[in-house]
Amino acid sequence: MQAAPVPGENIKFTVVPANLRDSVTKDIQVVNSEKLVGYNMMLGGKESIDEAGSDYYNVTVNMVIKRGSAFAA
């Protein structure tokens, strides 16, 4: 069983662009983050035992993507 998240706790994730010409800069801003109450009820009771105690969050982010030139060598 996992401990409940602490307010202000950092959650780390990785963004991997599908296009090799793209890269994510360090300019990433979290605009909004809210816990989804009752989300597991919307799954129709199909969650596994591991997910029974899980929390779900809706996170909105802004980021700057750099696209390299199509003609770069």
Per-residue pLDDT of the chain (73 residues; tens, 9 = 90+): 445 555 667 777 788 888 889 998 888 888 888 888 776 665 555 555 455 677 788 889 899 989 988 876 5
Count of CA atoms in the C-beta half-sphere (13 A) of 70: 0
Whole-number pLDDT of residue 33: 85
pTM of the model: 0.53
Nearest to 35 by CA among 51, 19, 56, 16: 56
Residue 40 near residue 54, CB atoms below 8 Å: yes
Whole-number pLDDT of residue 14: 82
Whole-number pLDDT of residue 2: 47
Residues 6+ apart with CB under 8 A from 20: none
